Structure 1
Amino acid sequence: MFTSFRSPLVALTITLTAALFLLAPLSAGEVLTPEKLWQLKRLGSVTVSPDGNHAVYSVTQYNWQDETSNSDLYVLDIARGESRRLTSHTASDHNPIFAADGAGVYFLSNREDKAKAQLYYIALNGGEAERISNAPDGLSNVKLLPGQERLLFTKEVALGKPVKNLFEDLPNASARVYDDLKLRHWDGWFEGTYSHLHLADINGDNARDLMKDLTQDTPTKPFGDAGDFTISPDGKEIAYVALVPNRPADSTDTGIYLLPTDGKVAELLTKNMGGYDVEPRYSPDGTYLAWLSMETPGYESDRNRIMLYHRKNKTIEELTVGLDETVSHIAWQDNDTLIFNGPTKGTYQLYRMDITRKGKKHTGNITQITKGRHNLSSFTVKGDLILAKKSTHERPFELVKVNADGSLKTLTDINGDHYAKLDLPEIETMWVDATDGKKIHNWIIKPPNFDPNKKYPLLVYCQGGPQSMVSQFFSFRWNFHLMAAQGYVVVGINRRGLPGFGREWNDSIKGDYGGQPMRDILSSTDAMLAKDYIETQRVAAIGASFGGYTVFRLMGMNHGENKRFQSMISHCGLFNMEGWYGATEELFFPNRDMGGPYWESEEQKKQYAENSPHSYVQNWETPILVIHGQLDYRVPLTEGLQAFQAAKMKGNKARFLYFPDEGHWVLKPQNGILWHRIFFQWLEETLPGTKEKPSAP
């Protein structure tokens, strides 16, 4: 509901730029703190040399004290597993692309103008970087065409009637005027501009808009990236993703468009396919185009299928018929083999699909490549070589090589200096019986140096989405390692209504937000309360987005003999279902999950009321911290304000944490640290005890 099909696997990746941190180095035996969390480096984009011997990747580091950051490039000898720094600059160096001869890499940097990134080149053996482009408005999402004499990039273009600056004699008027929905999205208002593909010489000259006059965005906003478009092996065609023009506020109809680079008009390939169509990928020989497709219009968490388009025969077929799970990302290994990743039982693993031809038909034979407690994402394939980013609850992304037997070889250790000095939490799996007899998967995260003979406070983590799995993500806000390091046991519950456990489990949340998903959470909570090491009078429910809704809904259930929680924390949670319907910006969520608007029938009104947390405020008696951002248009600020006001009018201990400059997430470093400080301060106030305090940063 509140995440997006493009959202990231929860572990937030932001391209920013950097400086050395002024904090003292971590000392031996320390635990993770909010300040130390922001010291950790973040692995960015990865590119592999034509011969498969080297990789170049970006690393971003923050200085939270002055809110600056820096991204530099590193070159990796894959066979040796050894890295060395390739660039060192106060600007942001990112988006590396290997030169065709493998002798160097192109990359984007804002070295000479912070507002306008340009293309640079640096030899693989080092030296000074050479500026290649001089594009007047800068470059973004750059890809090089075969031959590397031309480049493809994206640029904002103003189209149609302006929404502001409407009258020349009113230059200071700040109003905007809109005539249709989707006037705002996630954390920004529509400004009348669209992101268009442009083709230019490699130096940025002779640029032309390939989507001239089209009211479409590619990449799609706000989560799209350069993966939304791809170039055919012969350089004559571009496949790109864009929303099919209709009613964007209640539609998930993104299409795959085929655009000749000679200036002809784009053709919609996915006609009569009304769901999300994303990630177009040409086969190495250009015979096929594969992509991910959701079948059901208006359902953003539908099963992603792998579709295959035979470019000569102009036929489309599905390769994943019978697969009871969704697919996250795809890449060609050779002309007959696709590699993809997907969710399974609280992890993300890699799979191989061997494509078999049977006359004009094709089938996909699927083999799971990897296993283990990890998320594998953002993988790169070069023949038999597969590189992937690996995360766990303990550590953020590192680059790994996938061996032929499916085992993983870690190639980078960008945070090794920090982790050598940190005590780590303990992670285990728990399966719990649901009230209907089905099994619920849980992750249990225990504090560093866990002692089973001691009693620990418990944090019950309620996942957002709603259809977003509690996987082995490493979040820079909802960070289980950090929570455990402060002395809490955390349980992450893969309740009803999320992927990784079959389509029935994923889809069953429809129309039942406040029903079985809540019972699943309570079943897992009860299983934790039965453990000898849990202090049953120091338990909190926490969560954001649909997890924030869950906390509000549990508030109404947490009373009398059913009381399990002594504290609650809800971030950007949905409180009043009818009010939320009238203010959110993507209406396909309630239209699908709740069956349509609340006014359509008495039955609809009843369903909204029964699932809405505000209907149960009469039972609220638990202390609650409510967090919300002014720029959150998915779950508008009024949802949090209503909940806080209701709690105070009920006489609850309550606190409201407000961010005037954040949206559905908290992205700024000092805001992030403040978020954690208030979070843990609230828990210490409402779950008082003898919990050991973490060492100072």
Structure 2
Amino acid sequence: MNRILSVALLVLLACLQQTNVAQEAAESATETKTLTPELLWKLGRLGEATLSPDGTHLAYTVRRYVLADNKGKSSLFLMKLDDGSTKTLLDSWSSVGSIQWVGEGDSATLFFEGMEGKDDEEDSDAADDDEEEDEDEDHSDAPQAWSIDVGSGELTQVSALEDGISNLKVSPTGKHIAYTQDVKLDKTVNELYEDLPEADARIIDDLMYRHWNAWHDYKYTHLHVAAIADGKAGDGKDLMEGIKADCPVPPFGGSEQFNWSPDGKEIAYTLKDTEKWEESTDSNVWIVNVESGEKKNLTGEMPGYDKDPVYSPDGKWLAFQSMERAGFESDRNRIMLIERESGTMRELTIGLDQNANGIHWTPDSQKIAFASEYRGTDQMFEIGLESPGTKRQVTSGQFNWHVVDFLPDGKSAIATKMNMIRPNELTLLNVESGDDKVLSHINDDVYEGLEVATIEERFVDATDGQKIHCWVAYPPGFKKDDGKKWPMLTYCQGGPQGQIGQWFSYRWNFHLMAAQGYVVVAPNRRGLPGFGRKWNDDISGDWGGQAMKDILSATDAMMAEPYINKDKVGAIGASFGGYTVYWLMGNGGDRFKTMIAHCGVFNLESMYGSTEELFFVNWDLGGPYWKSDAIKKEYDLFSPHNFVKNWKTPLLVIHGQKDFRVPVTQGMEAFTAAQVNDVPSRFLYFPEEGHWVQSPQNGVLWHRVFFDWLARELK
């Protein structure tokens, strides 16, 4: 009898367990799938794309991250445009970039810069190998130039340089490669004092001893060229020999800063070779004869940024980007034209009250396409050489668009398209109608079944009668009239001159914030491009003025909505957005219940004495605080540290040790002030990160701490 009861009991328990499993499965099936920090790192990231010369094939790269490995891998794909079929040319390389076609028709070859990479076990074995290095070492453990036969998939390693290469550009004739490589020109302390090999110090004689996130390494990045014979590159020639300057210009310059002439005889490049580098934005466009090495500065009398030269397909013109005002890194970006035969120069975008970002020639050399900030988006425009100052808008909608290349007939173009909901995808754009067809589907699997946020555009009244453009992100399932009240975040943009466009950020991601249950308002306050030059310029010299009023106006307008919980509002931001948070801590009244500042400016005086690119603070703050009583007064008026006595809002400070633009001591000062004043506060410190958080696991940690802090006060 007992045995029968035991068996019956086991059967009953099994049935109950199956019922529970079925119920959990049913509940799981009905659960809403929304974006999470972990899911964010599963998204494939479109890298580069290049169109074959005949317009039939599109090659592009995608990088994916493995969170457990804390690193990413890159793959190279080839798509046939007629049917969209895609095949993988390279899979899971450590890096793949600088992809480009050379040649015509079936003989076209795809070149790229890449590094295969090895798994940890292989790396370990190599480290234990005491044998001498093979004379024929291919140095494939550093980025090299490669070519690939897209039909057979056969790989050829073109270069074999010990330290590898960067920014590969193959000449249109296929006879040479251009690339950049670091050249050591300065001596270390141990080289100056050879009898002190264990001395650990630096002798510093100028202010550019560190930049952005790295200390000066006694090297300069130089442009090189090498001939190709039988598919292999020969010895490289330094086109900048002896010059203590860099091409590309750090910290953000890339391969766009130099280009080959169509005949392969000349290279136009960008160089910032100036005294007091830290106080100047005077970069210039140079040309160099590849064979003779003869150089010429084309923009020596122009005091602002001149960069990114691009030859017209017919070789008649050289176009480049230019900013007119010296020392202003966010001046209007113009397109300048040089007729190569005569040397005459003129502005193509004369009279346009907007930026012209990027230069893409049409195949007939008669027009240039460019991207421009426009009402919270990046749109594509085109302008004809015979109609300077007259633009035509090609794209529209709530997206950020950027041109990749034109098809041979010039009627269509390959472009990238993104918004706040989804990251970049490749699209085929009809240049005349503006219609497009999405070509790549990198993240369709991730978004399948994903309930997404809603993004809306709205304008609110500013205190001076102007209208402030705002983006508002609403949580998945949000309804304005269901009586539910939501917590809200006011996003404070950095820059201070950088539009809140339809970008998909992997840090300040409005889709992710909304998916965590927050309404997000992101105002394009005074100082941001896309709304005319005056709006953009109004931030300079007025950091704590109208821009802060604009943010508070946007906050108040949203708090007046019946679906916002007025007692659950926070403010967040990075860089100048972090400055904004610190400013609002002392000047925002009682609107905010919690604050988060990432790499924010806290003390204007100590910031001036510890940052690196002084042209930025010289322009925006008027110069050093000791320059005049008037400037000192402005520092005192707008420095957040002077208002710490008003602090009471809980504050999360985030900062990276290797942030040299806004040094980590700014965050430390703010955290100390909060702690001494008994303000609830936490400091999230990253010893190996700079102004941005780039490691995958650090990125997820950032979001976990970020949302945990918000939830303490807002949920």
Q: State TM-score, norm by structure 1.
A: 0.92
In terms of mean alpha carbon deviation, does 94-103 or 463-472 score higher?
A: 94-103
Higher helix share: 2
**Any residues of structure 2 matched to 1:402-551 within 5 Å, and which?**
402-403=429-430, 404-452=432-480, 453=482, 454-551=484-581
Distance 1:174 1:557, change over 3 A: same
Tell me if structure 1 keeps the 8 A contact 2:487–2:568.
Answer: yes
Give the letter aligned to residue 291 of structure 1. F
Distance 1:306 1:576, change over 3 A: same
Provide the rounded CA distance (Å) in 2 between the counterparts of 1:485 and 1:171: 56
Unaligned runs of 5+ in 1: 1-24, 357-361, 689-697
1:126 is displaced (CA, Å) by: 4.2
Instruction: Please report the RMSD computed on the Cα atoms of aligned residues, expressed in angstroms.
Output: 1.7
Tell me if structure 1 keeps the 8 A contact 2:190–2:198.
Answer: no
Match of 1:47 in 2: 50
Distance 1:164 1:218, change over 3 A: farther
Match of 2:285 in 1: 256
In terms of mean alpha carbon deviation, does 539-548 or 152-161 score higher?
A: 152-161
**Any residues of structure 2 matched to 1:55-454 within 5 Å, and which?**
55-103=58-106, 104-111=109-116, 113=139, 115-162=141-188, 165-202=191-228, 203-333=232-362, 334-356=364-386, 363-377=388-402, 379-383=404-408, 384=410, 385-403=412-430, 404-452=432-480, 453=482, 454=484
In terms of mean alpha carbon deviation, does 382-391 or 48-57 score higher?
A: 382-391
Provide the rounded CA distance (Å) in 1 between the counterparts of 2:583 and 2:45: 35
Tell me if structure 1 keeps the 8 A contact 2:360–2:405.
Answer: yes
Tell me if structure 1 keeps the 8 A contact 2:258–2:267.
Answer: yes
Match of 2:642 in 1: 615
Q: Identify the structure with bigger relative contact order (alpha carbons < 8 Å, sequence gap 6+).
A: 1
Provide the rounded CA distance (Å) in 2 between the counterparts of 1:89 and 1:676: 27
Identical aligned residues as a percent: 48
Provide the rounded CA distance (Å) in 2 between the counterparts of 1:164 and 1:577: 36
Structure 1: 4+ residue segments shifted above 6 A = 25-28
Give the letter aligned to residue 218 of structure 1. C
Of 567, 578, 593, the residue aligned with 2:594 is: 567
Tell me if structure 2 keeps the 8 A contact 1:165–1:174.
Answer: no
Give per-residue Cα distances to partners, 1:3-42, cap 9 Å, x unaligned: xxxxxxxxxxxxxxxxxxxxxx999741111111001000
Provide the rounded CA distance (Å) in 2 between the counterparts of 1:475 and 1:621: 30
Distance 1:678 1:151, change over 3 A: same
Tell me if structure 2 keeps the 8 A contact 1:163–1:178.
Answer: no
1:451 is displaced (CA, Å) by: 2.6
Distance 1:353 1:637, change over 3 A: same
Q: Secondary structure at the match of 2:91?
A: coil
Q: State TM-score, norm by structure 2.
A: 0.89
Provide the rounded CA distance (Å) in 2 between the counterparts of 1:80 and 1:193: 48
Provide the rounded CA distance (Å) in 1 between the counterparts of 2:466 and 2:190: 54
Distance 1:287 1:127, change over 3 A: closer
Give per-residue Cα distances to partners, 1:488-534, cap 9 Å, x unaligned: 11111100001000000000111110010000000000110011111
1:283 is displaced (CA, Å) by: 0.7
Give per-residue Cα distances to partners, 1:406-434, cap 9 Å, x unaligned: 12211111000001131110010010010
Distance 1:590 1:661, change over 3 A: same
Q: Secondary structure at the match of 1:550?
A: helix
Q: Secondary structure at the match of 2:644?
A: helix
Provide the rounded CA distance (Å) in 2 between the counterparts of 1:32 and 1:446: 13
Q: Secondary structure at the match of 1:491?
A: strand
Unaligned runs of 5+ in 2: 1-27, 118-138
Q: Secondary structure at the match of 2:142?
A: coil
Tell me if structure 1 keeps the 8 A contact 2:418–2:425.
Answer: yes
Provide the rounded CA distance (Å) in 2 between the counterparts of 1:154 and 1:198: 6
Tell me if structure 1 keeps the 8 A contact 2:371–2:380.
Answer: yes
In terms of mean alpha carbon deviation, does 578-587 or 384-393 score higher?
A: 384-393
Match of 1:15 in 2: none
Q: Secondary structure at the match of 1:88?
A: strand
Give the letter aligned to residue 132 of structure 1. V
Q: Secondary structure at the match of 2:242?
A: coil
Match of 1:686 in 2: 713
**Any residues of structure 2 matched to 1:550-629 within 5 Å, and which?**
550-558=580-588, 562-629=589-656
Distance 1:515 1:102, change over 3 A: same
Give the letter aligned to residue 156 of structure 2. E
Give the letter aligned to residue 109 of structure 1. G
Tell me if structure 2 keeps the 8 A contact 1:467–1:498.
Answer: yes
Match of 2:135 in 1: none
Give the letter aligned to residue 557 of structure 2. A
Provide the rounded CA distance (Å) in 1 between the counterparts of 2:656 and 2:140: 27
Tell me if structure 2 keeps the 8 A contact 1:163–1:191.
Answer: no
Provide the rounded CA distance (Å) in 1 between the counterparts of 2:574 and 2:524: 15
Distance 1:163 1:143, change over 3 A: farther
Tell me if structure 1 keeps the 8 A contact 2:102–2:173.
Answer: no
1:102 is displaced (CA, Å) by: 4.4
Tell me if structure 1 keeps the 8 A contact 2:274–2:280.
Answer: no
Establish whether residue 674 from structure 1 lines up as the match of residue 715 from structure 2: no
1:160 is displaced (CA, Å) by: 3.7
Distance 1:593 1:92, change over 3 A: closer
1:163 is displaced (CA, Å) by: 5.7
1:449 is displaced (CA, Å) by: 1.3
Give per-residue Cα distances to partners, 1:348-396, cap 9 Å, x unaligned: 000011111xxxxx73431010111011125323441311111110011
